[in-house]
Amino acid sequence: MAAILRIAFRNLFEHRSKSLIIGILLALGSMILVVGNGFIDASRQGIRSSFTENYTGNVFISGLSEEGDVSLFGVTSVGGLAATPTIPQFDSIMAQLQASPHVESFTSLATGFGIAMRDESSETPTTNTEGITTESTEEQGEDDEMSSETAMARFLFFFGIDPQNYWNVFNSTEITSGEALKPGQTGLVINESQLTKLSEWMKRDLAVGDKLVVQGFSSGGMKLREIPIVGTYKQKGESTTPEQMAFLDINTLRVMTGMTVGANEVINLEESQTAMLAADDFDSLFGDDLFDVAPASGGFDEEALQTQLADTSARELANTADIGAWQFIVIRTTSEAAAAPLIASLNTSFAEQGIAAKAGDWLAAAGPYGQSVDVIRIVFTIAIIILSIVAIIIIMNTFVISVIERTGEIGTMRAIGAGRSFIRRLFAAEALVLAGLFSFLGAGLGTIVTLILRALHIEAGNPFLEVLFGGTYLSPFVTPVNFISALVAMLLVGYLAHLYPVSVALRIQPVRAMQQE
C-alpha cells in the first residue's frame, strides 16, 4: 500500500496541471458544503431558539384534528379554515405535567387572527366649488396608496394567554408602556412598533388606555370586539417575532374564535317541532290538506312573536366564553435532552387513556413556519447533488484525458506484470489523495469564509430574511460534523469520478499501449 501511495503522489506531481484543475473543483465543492451547511444550521438554530424562547417551549401539546396537523398557527388544511381543536380532559393532562420530573414549567394558551378596524369618521373631508363634500386629491392618493397596504397594516396575530404563569414561562418580552395583562383583566398588549404603524394608518394617535376595534375571524364566523390597549411591548435582544403578534386576554379570544358555551349547547326540540321530520310518507308533506287546517283562534299572536324575538339567551350563550377551553399547552423541560422522553411518555399516556391529544416538539408547534428551514435544506441538497453530478462529469473527463496521456505508462506496467487490481488501486489512490488534500483545503477556506460572514454582522432588513437568517443578523457557524461531512462527500465524489477512467485504462492492451508514446 505504501508503494502505491508513493507512485500516486509521483503521478499527481508529474501531471500537475490536470491535478490542479481537479483539485480546485474538489476544493470549491468542499467550501460550498461547509458554508452552505453553516448557513442552514444557523438558520435552523435561530428559528429554533426564536420559537422555543418566544412561543413553543420545548414540548407542545394540542388536540387532534381530522383536517390536518395542528400548530400554533392553526390547522394545516385546505383553505386554512378548519377549526383549531381544544384540548380534551385538560385537567388530567395538567396533573400529568405537574407530576413529571422532566417538566420545569408550562402554560396554556390559544391563538387566533384578527383585523384592526379603522374609524372612517376620522377622515378629514373637503368641499369643492360645487358644494359637494369630497376628499382632497392628495388624501385620495394617500388612501389609494394605503389601500394596497391595508391587509398587512391591520392584521394581528393573537396569543390568548394565562397571565398567571405565561410571563414566567416566557420572559422574552419587555413592557415599554402600560402594564402586562393580569389574571381576569380584559385587554390587549401590542407591539410598540405595530401600534405606531396602526396610529399612522388610522390617522390618529393610539396609546395605552385607548380602545381598538378588532374583527376576529374563525371557522365559526366573524365577531367584532372593542378591546382596551393595556400595554405595549418589545422583544428583548434579537428575535424573529413578527410585529403583528399581540397578547390578548383568553376570554375575549375565546369569544372571537368561537370557543363559547353556545358552541357546545345542545338544542332540544319539542315533539311538535320534530313531527314533520318524523313523517313516514314524504308525499303527505305536500298533500292537498296541507293548508286545510283552520288557523288557531285569535289569529296572529303578535305578543307571542315579540316574546320569542326578545329571547336573547342563544346570543348570550354564543358570546359567553367557555371557561377552561384551551387549544395548547407549551412546556419548558429541565433540559433539551428531556424533551424527547417527555413527548414519548405523554403520547403513550394519551393513547392508553383515550385522550384525543398529541405531544410534539417545537418544530410541530411551529408548523409551516418552522418547516421552512427543512425546505431550504432540501433545496440546498438538490442544488448540491446537481453540482456534484456536474463536478463528477468534469473530473471524470479530466481523469480520462489523463489516462489517455498515460497509455504508454499503463501498458508498460501491465507488460511487466502489474495486474488489473494494481491498476485499480493506483487510480483509486490518486483520486482519494487528490480529493483528501484539496477537500481539506476547501473546507478550511469555507471555515474562514463563514467566520468572515459572521464577523460582518449582515442585517436581515426584512421579515423574510429574518426567517431565512434565523434572527436579525446572519450568523453562520461551522460544526465538526459539517467539516467532516464535507470531506467525506468530496472523497466520495473523487472516488466515483475515477471509476470510468479505470475501466478505460483496463481495456488498453499492454502491447498496443507500449507502442504509443
Contact 17, 405 (CB under 8 A): no
Highest mean pLDDT among 111-115, 362-366, 448-452: 448-452
Lowest model confidence (mean pLDDT) among 126-135, 286-295, 345-354, 456-465: 126-135
Pairing of strands 245-249, 188-191: antiparallel
pLDDT value at position 413? 76
Find all residues with CB under 8 Å of 72, minimum gap 6, and list them: 55, 56, 60, 111, 328, 365, 366, 367
pLDDT value at position 137? 38
Length of the chain: 517
Helix (H) or strand (E) holding 382: helix 372-405
Quick one: which of 100, 69, 72 has its CA closest to 329? 72
pLDDT value at position 514? 59
Helix (H) or strand (E) holding 29: helix 16-51
**pLDDT greater than 50 at residue 138:** no
Quick one: which of 446, 240, 468, 504 has its CA closest to 372? 468
Q: State the Cα–Cα distance between residues 318 and 165, nearest whole angstrom.
A: 28
Contact 497, 415 (CB under 8 A): no
Block residue for cell numbers 410541530:
364
Lowest model confidence (mean pLDDT) among 175-189, 317-331, 353-367, 429-443: 317-331
Distances (CA, A) of 218 to 112, 215, 227, 249, 470: 8, 10, 18, 17, 30
pLDDT value at position 314? 54
Lowest model confidence (mean pLDDT) among 240-249, 259-268, 369-378, 435-444: 259-268
Find all residues with CB under 8 Å of 204, minimum gap 6, and list them: 119, 122
Q: State the Cα–Cα distance between residues 249 and 182, nearest whole angstrom.
A: 9
- Other CB atoms within a 10 A radius of the CB of residue 434 amount to 26
Mean pLDDT of 82-88: 87
pLDDT value at position 326? 92
SS3 of the chain: helix, strand, coil, percent, to 5: 55, 15, 30
**pLDDT greater than 70 at residue 275:** no
**pLDDT greater than 50 at residue 150:** no
Pairing of strands 245-249, 155-161: parallel
| Mean pLDDT, the chain, whole residue set | 78
**pLDDT greater than 80 at residue 186:** yes
**pLDDT greater than 70 at residue 47:** yes
Q: Where are the beta strands (DSSP E) in 346-402?
A: 357-361
256/13: higher pLDDT: 256
Mean pLDDT of 292-298: 52
Rounded to 5°, the CA angle 212-216-217 comes to 160
pLDDT value at position 293? 52
Find all residues with CB under 8 Å of 96, minimum gap 6, and list them: 346, 349
- Tens-place pLDDT, residues 230-270: 999 988 765 556 788 899 999 898 888 877 765 554 555 55
**pLDDT greater than 90 at residue 332:** yes
346/294: higher pLDDT: 346
Buried b or exposed e, range 493-514, using 16+ CB within 10 angstroms: bbebbbebbbebbeebebeebb
309/329: higher pLDDT: 329
Q: State the Cα–Cα distance between residues 260 and 258, nearest whole angstrom.
A: 5
- Tens-place pLDDT, residues 459-495: 877 666 776 676 777 888 899 999 999 899 888 888 8
Question: φ and ψ at 433, to 5 degrees?
Answer: -65, -45
Q: State the Cα–Cα distance between residues 52 and 298, nearest whole angstrom.
A: 69
Find all residues with CB under 8 Å of 1, minimum gap 6, and list them: none
Pairing of strands 173-178, 221-235: antiparallel
| Cell output for 215 | 374583527
Mean pLDDT of 113-120: 80
Share of the chain above pLDDT 90, in %: 26
**pLDDT greater than 70 at residue 444:** yes
Q: Where are the beta strands (DSSP E) in 272-404?
A: 328-333, 357-361
277/25: higher pLDDT: 25
Q: Give the confidence band of 402 by pLDDT, cuts at 50, 70, 90.
A: confident
- The DSSP 8-state label assigned to residue 335 in this structure reads S
Q: State the Cα–Cα distance between residues 275 and 279, nearest whole angstrom.
A: 7
pLDDT value at position 307? 64
Q: Give the confidence band of 304 by pLDDT, cuts at 50, 70, 90.
A: low
Q: State the Cα–Cα distance between residues 108 and 169, nearest whole angstrom.
A: 10
Listed in sequence order, the DSSP H helices in 148-191 are 150-154, 166-169
Q: Give the confidence band of 133 by pLDDT, cuts at 50, 70, 90.
A: very low
Quick one: which of 246, 249, 255 has its CA closest to 155? 246
- Tens-place pLDDT, residues 86-116: 999 999 999 999 999 999 999 999 998 888 8
Helix (H) or strand (E) holding 71: strand 70-71
Q: Give the confidence band of 129 by pLDDT, cuts at 50, 70, 90.
A: very low
- The DSSP 8-state label assigned to residue 283 in this structure reads G
Question: φ and ψ at 258, to 5 degrees?
Answer: 85, 10
Question: φ and ψ at 369, to 5 degrees?
Answer: -70, -45
**pLDDT greater than 80 at residue 75:** yes
Q: State the Cα–Cα distance between residues 109 and 249, nearest whole angstrom.
A: 10
Mean pLDDT of 29-50: 84
Question: φ and ψ at 191, to 5 degrees?
Answer: -60, 135
Share of the chain above pLDDT 70, in %: 75
Rounded to 5°, the CA angle 323-326-328 comes to 165
